[in-house]
């Protein structure tokens, strides 16, 4: 006879889409036993009799997935760039807009003029929309301040958001996002400021969990990025990279050389980039929202990622210029329809692979004993429906750290 085990809460009455090993791995008529903030058991409901729970919840059908992870966003910023969206639709290129002082730099001006309270308030609205769709973990980057005080204020805003919402918020310092107007002729000086002044303050104040950079002809060269990454490494901060979005500069291989958590965008990644990423374990974060809005035609090499076994994550890239996307579920569909991912790969991309891109796969991203109890109940019959339905908000019940939010 099995020994009885206690648990605080038994959740049952739905099919459990565990996403173990990045696959659906569905447990029909399953149950999840939770103690404190952790999952202690997942299995068929008929085997749940070994538990004596303090509370029980019957979902009454449907499916349960891990909490969704949005591993690449720029949710904190000032101002609005809908006018640039209109310009692009009228034939003006992203490069031309940037050269005329628009693009990232127009958001920089608005962000510098915003107070900490204004940054938190405007970002909170956007964040709440994301969370309503079953997102339980969000990464948010700085990068629109491009001066020490404004970058620190953005990171402080991200930390404040993390204290306000029932979700895990990870902060990334992206001071190497664009060359500030003050350093237009001397970009190396801004790189030096980042390395010698800004990053030590960020590390000392524990304001960021990682450091990112934009390696592109519009932004920073591989040599400049390498300086930023060396400084981050010396401070014990992991790195990520915006790489190969608009051109091929070897950014994927550069990220791999520093054992980056992820390289993101990757439309122009080469086979050598991908081989290097496979060796380092660097996750490929695909961002179909920007691809869609910029009307790009060069797709990321999904077949090569599969061939080399590079994990693929998906994210919203929510930002004011190139991906004003506030639906991670829409990105699931775009990942499939625009990039050729399967629904199973797409769902893994916003669960286990998204967690992996943040260095959190040991505690998040799949429904397994020992992991945190972040999961979502959907009144659906199969996981592919999460990818299939366009628009609207699917009703869902979100459990974060074992408690319904």
Cα(376)–Cα(71) distance, rounded to whole angstroms?
Answer: 17
The answer to whether 74 is annotated as binding is yes
81 has binding-site annotation: yes
Evaluated on CA atoms 373, 374, 379, 383, the torsion sign reads negative
Tokens at 94, concatenated = 């992203």
Q: What residues have CB less than 8 Å from 184, skipping those under 6 apart?
A: none
72 annotated to a ligand binding site: yes
Question: Sheet harboring 262-265: ordered strands across?
Answer: 68-70, 135-141, 168-176, 210-215, 240-243, 262-265, 283-286, 312-314
The residue among 65, 62, 67, 7 whose CA lies nearest residue 35 is 7
- Classify 318 as helix, strand or coil: coil
Q: What is the DSSP string of 263-274?
A: EEE-TT--HHHH
374 is in an annotated binding site: no
**Does residue 331 sit in helix, strand or coil?**
helix
The DSSP code sequence of 80-119 is: --HHHHHHHHTT--HHHHHHTT-THHHHHHHHHTS-HHHH
CA angle 122, 127, 133 (to 5 degrees): 145
Q: Tell me how far apart the alpha carbons of residues 273 and 286 are, in angstroms, rounded to a whole number.
A: 15
Q: What does each C-alpha distance from 266 to 32, 211, 279 come to in angstroms?
A: 37, 18, 17
- Is 317 assigned a ligand-binding role in the annotation? yes
The terminus-to-terminus CA distance of the chain in angstroms comes to 37
- 65 among annotated binding-site residues: no
**Cα–Cα distance between 182 and 33 in angstroms, integer?**
56
Cα radius of gyration rounded to whole Å, the chain: 21
Neighbours of 77 (CB within 10 A): 28
322 labelled as ligand-binding? yes
**Exposed, middle or buried: residue 92 (CB in 10 Å: 0-12, 13-18, 19+)?**
middle
Cα dihedral: 35, 36, 42, 45 (round 10): 50
What residues form the annotated binding site for N-formimidoyl-L-glutamate?
144, 319, 321
What residues form the annotated binding site?
72, 74, 81, 144, 177, 242, 245, 317, 319, 321-322
What residues form the annotated binding site for 4-imidazolone-5-propanoate?
81, 144, 177, 245, 322
What residues form the annotated binding site for Fe(3+)?
72, 74, 242, 317
What residues form the annotated binding site for Zn(2+)?
72, 74, 242, 317
């Amino acid at each position: 006879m099995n020994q009885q085990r206690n648990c605080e809460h038994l959740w049952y009455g739905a099919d459990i889409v565990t996403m173990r090993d990045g696959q659906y791995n569905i447990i029909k008529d399953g149950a999840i036993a939770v103690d404190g903030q952790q999952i202690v058991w997942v299995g068929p409901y008929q085997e749940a009799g070994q538990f004596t729970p303090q509370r029980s919840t019957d979902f009454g059908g449907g499916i349960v997935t891990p909490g969704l992870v949005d591993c690449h966003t720029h949710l904190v910023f000032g101002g609005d760039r809908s006018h640039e969206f209109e310009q692009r639709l009228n034939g003006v290129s992203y490069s031309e807009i940037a050269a005329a002082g628009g693009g990232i730099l127009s958001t920089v001006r608005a962000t510098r003029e915003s107070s900490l309270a204004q940054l938190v308030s405007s970002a909170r609205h956007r964040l709440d929309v994301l969370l309503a769709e079953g997102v339980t973990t969000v990464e948010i980057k700085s990068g629109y301040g491009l001066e020490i005080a404004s970058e620190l204020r953005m990171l402080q805003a991200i930390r404040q958001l993390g204290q306000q919402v029932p979700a895990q918020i990870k902060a990334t310092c992206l001071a190497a996002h664009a060359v500030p107007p003050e350093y237009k002729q001397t970009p190396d000086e801004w790189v030096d400021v980042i390395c010698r002044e800004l990053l030590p303050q960020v590390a000392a104040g524990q304001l960021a969990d990682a450091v990112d950079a934009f390696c592109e002809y519009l932004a920073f060269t591989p040599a400049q990025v390498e300086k930023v990454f060396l400084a981050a490494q010396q401070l014990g901060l992991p790195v990520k990279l915006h790489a190969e979005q608009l051109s091929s500069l070897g950014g994927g291989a550069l990220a791999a050389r520093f054992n980056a958590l992820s390289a993101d965008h990757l439309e122009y990644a080469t086979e050598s980039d991908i081989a290097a990423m496979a060796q380092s374990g660097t996750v490929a974060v695909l961002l179909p929202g920007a691809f869609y809005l910029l009307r790009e035609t060069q797709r990321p090499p999904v077949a090569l990622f599969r061939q080399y076994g590079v994990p693929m994550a998906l994210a919203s890239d929510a930002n004011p210029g190139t991906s004003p996307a506030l639906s991670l579920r829409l990105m699931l569909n775009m990942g499939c329809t625009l990039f050729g991912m399967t629904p199973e790969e797409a769902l893994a991309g916003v669960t286990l692979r998204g967690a992996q891109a943040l260095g959190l796969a040991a505690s998040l991203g799949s429904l397994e004993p020992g992991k945190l109890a972040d999961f979502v109940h959907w009144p659906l019959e199969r996981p592919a429906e999460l990818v299939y339905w366009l628009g609207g908000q699917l009703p869902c019940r979100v459990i974060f750290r074992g408690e319904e939010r």
